[in-house]
Amino acid sequence: MSTFKTLPSNQINDGIQYLSFYPNGYGASIVQHKYSYGHDQGLWEVAVIKGTEEDWNICYDTPITSDVLGYLSEADVEDVLLQIEALK
């Protein structure tokens, strides 16, 4: 069962963005919009982010990825969120 869809959301680029933040200083931007990888197939894109709800940036240097992750199912997104939450 997907839980990321219960996170706070914003409208972005004719689609949706969910944001998640963790105590380790990392978080995730989960999007499905006209520019995201996989949107036309109903799939999701995740960016690892670093910062706070008020001030964050995409983080390109984690063991998870050095870019955004696209073409993700809801289950894939949940798996990535667990990995982000576990970052040191």
- Give 29-72 pLDDT, tens digit per residue: 999 999 999 999 999 999 999 999 999 999 999 999 999 999 99
- Residues 36-45: tens digit of each pLDDT: 999 999 999 9
Token reading at 50: 């670093």
The per-residue pLDDT for 19 is 97
Assign residue 86 a region: left if phi > 0, alpha if psi is -120 to 50, beta otherwise? alpha
| pTM check: above 0.85 | yes
Residues 66, 76, 22, 46, CA torsion sign: positive
Domain range list for the chain: 4-85
